[in-house]
Amino acid sequence: MYALSILGAFLLLIFPNDVKMIPLYITIAKFGISAAFNLVYLSAVSLIPTILSSTVFGFCNVPARIITIMAPVVAEQDAPLPMLLCLVLVSCAVVASQFIVEKLPKFA
């Protein structure tokens, strides 16, 4: 799902003037991020003990809300910066998720 989001952001970065395709690129990027967010909730059940789950989600929710508050400010910047920032953040999430994938229990 992160790869899908990277694809959408990369297409927006490469083809910023393709007016007919911009809604498709935005939809691809948004679908990737939304699906990855939903997968976090699904995988958290197998990764985090139930007694700690609300605490972990609370600690993760604070930086997520701060970044969300800053999103309109970043979106108003000049053309390459918002998409480059999106690519960097999603790439960091890909690297972080690879470390988490190693911790997932093996399902038979």
Cα(35)–Cα(19) distance, rounded to whole angstroms?
A: 25
- For the full predicted model, state whether its pTM sits above 0.85: no
33 closest CA partner among 12, 7, 59: 7
What is the mean pLDDT of the segment spanning 70-74?
A: 88
Q: Is the model more confident about 44 or about 18?
A: 18
Percent of the chain exceeding pLDDT 70 equals: 94
Question: First vs last Cα of the chain: how many Å apart?
Answer: 23
Residue 105 phi, psi dihedral angles, 5° rounding: -70, 150
With a cut of 90, say whether residue 28 has pLDDT above it: yes
pLDDT in tens, 44-66: 777 778 888 888 888 888 988 89
CB contact set of 43 (below 8 Å; sequence gap of 6+): 100, 104
